Structure 1
Amino acid sequence: MDCGVAEVIEKRLKTRSVNGTLALGQTIYELMLPAPRLVILRGELGAGKTTLVKGIAEAMGAALAEDVTSPTFTLVHEYKGKTKRLYHLDLYRLETERELLTLGLEEMESEPDALVLVEWGEKFPSLVARAGGEIAISPLEGDERSFLVRML
């Protein structure tokens, strides 16, 4: 019986290497289906947010891992997959909601087959409120990483 309550998927995962984080992209991509979806990527500088996006981009056939870079200065990178489009945003340098509005994020979100992954999105409460998921990445020792994946 459907009571109108959305199921929350929450998983704790761990990787031991950069290659492990890249491979984890496939699993996380499957958790994010179906698109469209806006997902906040949380984690300190160097936590592995972009590395995870590289793995997700490969999993969806949108780009090779080596072709995915951080959009720190361009703010948005777009990759076209076989059936879906991936938008990778880095909001580290943005300060205000007004700056956020200039990116065209609402248009990206409204595309029927879009996946929007946002680094540093937690800086903007309006973005967090409409996100369909969140991935928190915590560095452990060396290249080990802990992931808390929550999808609504």
Structure 2
Amino acid sequence: MNAESNEREEVVDPAATVPVTGGVTGDERELGSRAPQIIKRHRTLHLSWQVGVFAIGLAVVAAGIVMLPLPGPGWLVIFGGMAIWATEFVWAQLVLRWTKRKVTEAAQKALDPKVRRRNMILTTIGLVIVAVLVGIYVWEFGLAMPWNIEQ
């Protein structure tokens, strides 16, 4: 009887529904090293590869940190360095996934009509305040720069 009922019911094995990519959904890739197989086979070669990836990623992140106060795309370069690290280190892959999720959530929130309307109103109020202050300054001192004004 039991064998008949198993034949009649199609039992789906949960493991059979997992994609070949290791259960990765959407655009997320499998965690772990993306080094070529020939490098992964040899422990010392793989360790040297990891040290090289870490050094290059560290240089790029350091350049991004320097660009934060200076002219340049600081955050973009920092995330580029994190992406370099993510080719080899799971912790960097997890940080990038978390960052991507938070940026997507913030973008969706910013597109909410109520939030967007509030932001536009606050921006308009801020611009009006700045325009009034600049108008008062120009009325009082003319187009002279602040360090050229004699009291």
- Shorter-chain TM range is under 0.3
Which is richer in strand?
A: 1
Q: Which has the higher contact order (CA 8 A, sep 6+)?
A: 1
Which is richer in helix?
A: 2
> What TM-score, normalized by structure 1, do the two folds share?
0.21
**Larger radius of gyration between Structure 1 and Structure 2:** 2
